[in-house]
């Protein structure tokens, strides 16, 4: 039987292995997947800039939403977003390294609330995101592995 930390790490590895959007397209790195927590990193590249030459908000949202997904699936129950919101606080620029840390605030039955914080390489807060999750049937990895 795996410890909760080992299970979360295995869940993160399994999800990331097939997460083409994060891994291949956006080049988001999974730094950690722990029980009720996750951390991911993304470097702002030229194709990510909008018409104001700042990182497109949708891509910052995707970093936060992806981190949310890893945090809420870390208990090895297939979990999806039921709703979320984001507040953009500061622009991100070409070359910025954005790190998102997500933490479970509440998990009751099938429903959870998670907070994400996106910072740049200087520790400045770029955005905050709150996600609400719902567990559905199934596990990410087979139970008992």
pTM > 0.85: yes or no: yes
Q: What pLDDT band is residue 78 in, cutting at 50, 70 and 90?
A: very high
Q: What is the pLDDT of residues 52-61, one digit of tens each?
A: 999 999 999 9
User: For residues 145 and 128, which has the higher predicted lDDT (pLDDT)?
Assistant: 128
Please tell me the predicted confidence (pLDDT) of residue 140: 96
**What is the percent of the chain with per-residue pLDDT over 90, rounded to a whole number?**
97
Q: What pLDDT band is residue 144 in, cutting at 50, 70 and 90?
A: confident
Please tell me the predicted confidence (pLDDT) of residue 145: 67
Dihedral of the CA atoms 29, 32, 38, 40 (nearest 10)? -20
Residue 121 has pLDDT above 70, yes or no: yes
How far is C-alpha 95 from the chain's CA centre? 20
Please tell me the predicted confidence (pLDDT) of residue 53: 98
Q: Is 6 exposed, middle or buried (0-12, 13-18, 19+ CB in 10 A)?
A: exposed
Please tell me the predicted confidence (pLDDT) of residue 79: 97
Please tell me the predicted confidence (pLDDT) of residue 143: 85
Residue 90 has pLDDT above 90, yes or no: yes
> Are the C-beta atoms of residues 99 and 40 closer than 8 Å to each other?
yes
The overall average pLDDT reported for the chain is 97
């Amino acid at each position: 039987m795996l410890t909760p930390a080992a299970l979360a790490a295995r869940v993160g590895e399994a999800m990331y292995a097939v997460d083409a959007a994060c891994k291949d397209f956006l080049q988001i790195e999974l730094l950690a997947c722990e029980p009720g927590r996750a951390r991911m990193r993304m470097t702002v590249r030229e194709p990510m800039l909008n018409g104001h030459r700042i990182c497109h908000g949708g891509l910052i949202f995707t970093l936060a939403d992806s981190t949310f997904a890893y945090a809420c699936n870390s208990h090895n129950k297939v979990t999806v977003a039921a709703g979320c919101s984001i507040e953009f606080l500061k622009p991100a620029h070409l070359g910025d390294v954005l790190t998102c840390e997500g933490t479970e605030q509440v998990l009751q039955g099938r429903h959870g609330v998670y907070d994400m914080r996106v910072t740049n390489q200087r520790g400045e807060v770029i955005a905050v995101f709150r996600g609400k999750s719902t567990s559905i049937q199934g596990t990410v990895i087979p139970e008992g592995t």
